[in-house]
Chains A and B, each alone.
Chain A
Amino acid sequence: MPERVLIVDDHAGFRGVARRLLQEIGRQVVGEAGTGAEALRETRRLKPDLVLLDIQLPDVDGLAVAASLNAEPDPPAVVLVSSRDAGDYGPRLLGCGALGFIAKADLSAESLMALLEA
């Protein structure tokens, strides 16, 4: 069960909401990142168990970041989030090695728990 979480999103408002949600379900948020490059750097430095990763990042596509994280030694679990629907990404979501996808509008303590405990 992942305990230490890194939040990756370029919107500070969303990072704040996500931090509160994760803490609500008893997770420790060890860091935050606003870009794909920062996400890779912070993951190597902080060694989180879980990365909550937005797909629309200003520098790199989140799906490509997920694939890079998956290729790291001892990779963290990755949960992708986006303000778009899963249907907007089609088969690309399946091939990136992420644990799952939650549309931001559906993000809640319950949806997160359901995904993490699955």
Chain B
Amino acid sequence: MVQRRAIQGGAVALVTLASIAEVNVTLYSDHITWQLTGPAGWPWYLALVDILPGSAFILAGLVAWSLRPRNRVGLLMIGVGAGLLIGSHAFEWRLAAVGFGPVVLDVVGIVGSLWPVVLLHLLLAFPGGLLVSRLDRVLVRLFYVVVPLAALLPLVFGSPGLGDVSQYLPVFDVVARAAGFTYLAFLAIGSGLVIRRWFLGGRARRRSMSPLLWAMGPYAVFLLLLYAALVLRALIWHVSSGDFWLVLLDVSPLFLAGVPAGFLIGLLRSGLDMSSVGDLVVKLSGGLAPEQLQPALAHALHDPSLEVAYWLPAQEWFADLEGRRIELPTPDSEKAVSVLGDPAGPVAALVYDSSLVHEGQLVDTAAAAVRMALENARLQVQLRAQLDEVRQSRARLVEAADSERQRVERDLHDGAQQQLVTLLLSLQATKTEAMRHSDPETARLVDANIAELKKALDELRELARGIHPTILTQAGLVPAIRSLTERCPIPVEVKGDLGDARLAPPLETALYFVVAEAITNAVKHSKGRRMCVSLGRGASLAAIDISDDGVGGADLSLGSGLRGLTDRVAAVGGRLEVKSGQPGGTTIHAEVPCE
């Protein structure tokens, strides 16, 4: 199919070239005769300057069109070539020679002035063939109107058809200057857009655009050197017409003849071939893990910027492999999107460089090859997203429970404990009064009540502390741990530090309860004589080890205390580990992520 299309395209190209070549050969046969006999003299090499670049663009454009009929690059190249030929001096001379009037020549001149705009259009649309960016579209459309206007107006105001041209001279002057500025603005903005496109594009686009650089580079370098040489010569000697350097300037457009080859090579480089998809299938047969899918597709489609976005039906958004939400690029961006699967229930989307936009068929083929693997990966992403949701929900639950504990503790202190303390102080005042009135019996009774009340207060304080320790909120984890160890009946050594910056409250609470539970367990079951709490903090982790020299035998699978702690630490993204030998004591290691 592709081969047949190439043969057809080649035939069309040869016929078209043959007809153009015939016209030009005739044209230049006349021209050379005229030049040989004419007084002004028109050197033969100008004929080459006029014919070669335009013909090369048309020829390469036809080849490109036949190779990629759906891509507008070929048509745009033919447009540039036609513009170059129509705008050439030779064509104008030929029209004049066969008797066309100035109006026809002006119209031809205006049409001929369009080729730089078509070239800019081509550069900005290359290699996909479409203007992707809105800015490019707006500016190119504007140039299609403004540049011919800039060519037309000076012709109108300088036309002999207006009668006495001298009265229009001031207007002509202004219009000519405006036209000059328009060309300058066009050149500056056009160059800016091309440079912007180069830098915004991914590797895939630069890969296809680089042959253009190789093709246009010599022309630019040659022009620069030539202008520099001319300026130097003008400064030192007088430059006369027919000067060798001026001749070089005249023939410089010949370099443009190499540019179409650059476009053609770039277009071919941007193209994908089935062999890369074949490689992909081979890789798939060897088993491809979900995380290898994106690199494999990127390699097959020659676009390292390619991303795979997986559709999550429950959430109704696209996510990356980790289950994190990602937004698909807008149609106006430099990225193109292919959504795979049923439109009502997509599987995934491929986000790739817009330069591949005309390779839809191959992108689809590559995507079809990995369809099953993509489906598997999507299920995995879905699972990860759900897991992430559960994890977040668990963290929220723990946080809610912690703030509830804090509220209960505060209520106990501010309510019941405050009332009991006031009662205690009143009883103490009553006792003082009784003693002052020499009533020892009453004083003794009140004293007994005071003792009971103090016991109740102590118990209430312990209860409140167990619910949520105030010192943890007030002073932080390390003072809270020290306060715990000071009340512990077994001597506890506290080593290390957790740095100056405090950890986030949920992390502090989780680690505090790990230490509290570990100490309680050691006191109850370990029969140990010493304990040690080691603290440490790295760049991304805070860790605590609580060890005792007791009988060991602690088991995560037995009892709800350690299991609850494991869940609590996991809820904040950390992990808990228990090492307990018989004998050999027990070490509980807890670590949480921190910044």
CB distance from A7 to the nearest CB of B (A): 13
Q: B-facing mask of A7-40, CB < 8 A → 1, else 0?
A: 0000101100110110010000000000000000
B450's closest neighbor in chain A, by CB?
A105
Given contacts A88-B470, A90-B471, contact A56 B422 (CB under 8 A): no
Contact A91 B479 (CB under 8 A): yes
Instruction: List chain B residues, Cβ under 8 A from A73.
Output: none
Contact B474 A107 (CB under 8 A): no
Instruction: List chain A residues, Cβ under 8 A from B429.
Output: 17, 20-21
Instruction: List chain B residues, Cβ under 8 A from A85.
Output: 461
Given contacts A21-B429, A90-B475, A92-B475, contact A105 B424 (CB under 8 A): yes
Which of B414, B419, B479 meets A90, CB within 8 Å? B479
Contact B421 A56 (CB under 8 A): no
Instruction: List chain B residues, Cβ under 8 A from A84.
Output: 413, 461, 470
Instruction: List chain B residues, Cβ under 8 A from A88.
Output: 465, 469-471, 474, 483
Contact B422 A89 (CB under 8 A): no
Q: B-facing mask of A38-62, CB < 8 A → 1, else 0?
A: 0000000000000000001000000
Q: B-facing mask of A58-80, CB < 8 A → 1, else 0?
A: 00000000000000000000000
Contact B413 A56 (CB under 8 A): yes
B480's closest neighbor in chain A, by CB?
A90
Instruction: List chain A residues, Cβ under 8 A from B486.
Output: 87
Contact B425 A104 (CB under 8 A): yes
Instruction: List chain A residues, Cβ under 8 A from B482.
Output: 90
Q: A-facing mask of B406-442, CB < 8 A → 1, else 0?
A: 0000000110011101101110110010000000000
Given contacts A11-B418, A87-B486, contact A24 B471 (CB under 8 A): no
B454 at the interface (CB under 8 A from A): yes
Q: How far is the CA of A104 from the CA of B422 in the complex (A)?
A: 8
Instruction: List chain B residues, Cβ under 8 A from A18.
Output: 425
Q: How far is the CA of A14 from the CA of B413 in the complex (A)?
A: 14
CB distance from A38 to the nearest CB of B (A): 18
B395 at the interface (CB under 8 A from A): no
Instruction: List chain B residues, Cβ under 8 A from A104.
Output: 418, 421, 425
CB distance from A57 to the nearest CB of B (A): 11
B570 at the interface (CB under 8 A from A): no
Residue among B413, B470, B486 with the highest chain A CB neighbour number at 10 A: B470
Q: How far is the CA of A75 from the CA of B454 in the complex (A)?
A: 35
Instruction: List chain A residues, Cβ under 8 A from B432.
Output: 24, 109
Q: How far is the CA of A73 from the CA of B426 in the complex (A)?
A: 36
Which of A17, A56, A89, A90 meets B426, CB within 8 Å? A17
B479's closest neighbor in chain A, by CB?
A90
Contact B469 A14 (CB under 8 A): no
Which of A13, A17, A56, A90 meets B483, CB within 8 Å? A90
Given contacts A11-B418, A83-B417, A90-B483, contact A21 B471 (CB under 8 A): no
B153 at the interface (CB under 8 A from A): no
B457 at the interface (CB under 8 A from A): yes
CB distance from A8 to the nearest CB of B (A): 14
Q: How far is the CA of A14 from the CA of B419 in the complex (A)?
A: 8
Q: How far is the CA of A109 from the CA of B431 in the complex (A)?
A: 13
Main secondary structure of the interface of A (DSSP, over half): helix
Instruction: List chain A residues, Cβ under 8 A from B474.
Output: 88-90, 92
A63's closest neighbor in chain B, by CB?
B474
Q: How far is the CA of A41 from the CA of B44 in the complex (A)?
A: 103
Q: How far is the CA of A17 from the CA of B420 in the complex (A)?
A: 13
Q: How far is the CA of A84 from the CA of B418 in the complex (A)?
A: 9
Q: How far is the CA of A107 from the CA of B427 in the complex (A)?
A: 12
Given contacts A88-B470, A91-B475, contact A14 B418 (CB under 8 A): yes
Instruction: List chain B residues, Cβ under 8 A from A56.
Output: 413-414
Q: How far is the CA of A87 from the CA of B63 in the complex (A)?
A: 87
CB distance from B474 to the nearest CB of A (A): 5
Contact B479 A107 (CB under 8 A): no
CB distance from B486 to the nearest CB of A (A): 7
Contact B475 A89 (CB under 8 A): yes
CB distance from A107 to the nearest CB of B (A): 6
Instruction: List chain A residues, Cβ under 8 A from B422.
Output: 11, 13-14, 17
A18's closest neighbor in chain B, by CB?
B425
Q: How far is the CA of A84 from the CA of B475 in the complex (A)?
A: 14
Instruction: List chain A residues, Cβ under 8 A from B414.
Output: 56, 83
Top 9 closest pairs, chain A to chain B, by CB: A90-B475, A90-B479, A88-B470, A17-B425, A13-B422, A104-B421, A83-B417, A88-B471, A83-B421
Additional pairs, 18, CB under 8 Å, beyond known A18-B425, A84-B461, A90-B483: A13-B419, A14-B418, A14-B425, A20-B429, A56-B413, A83-B414, A84-B470, A87-B486, A88-B465, A88-B470, A88-B471, A90-B471, A90-B476, A90-B480, A104-B425, A105-B424, A105-B454, A108-B428
What is B's interface to A at a CB cutoff of 8 Å? 413-414, 417-419, 421-422, 424-426, 428-429, 432, 454, 457, 461, 465, 469-471, 474-476, 479-480, 482-483, 486
Can you list 15 A-B pairs with a CB-CB distance of less than 8 A? A11-B422, A14-B425, A17-B425, A83-B414, A83-B418, A83-B421, A84-B461, A89-B470, A89-B471, A89-B475, A104-B421, A105-B421, A105-B424, A105-B454, A109-B432
What is A's interface to B at a CB cutoff of 8 Å? 11, 13-14, 17-18, 20-21, 24, 56, 83-85, 87-92, 104-105, 107-109
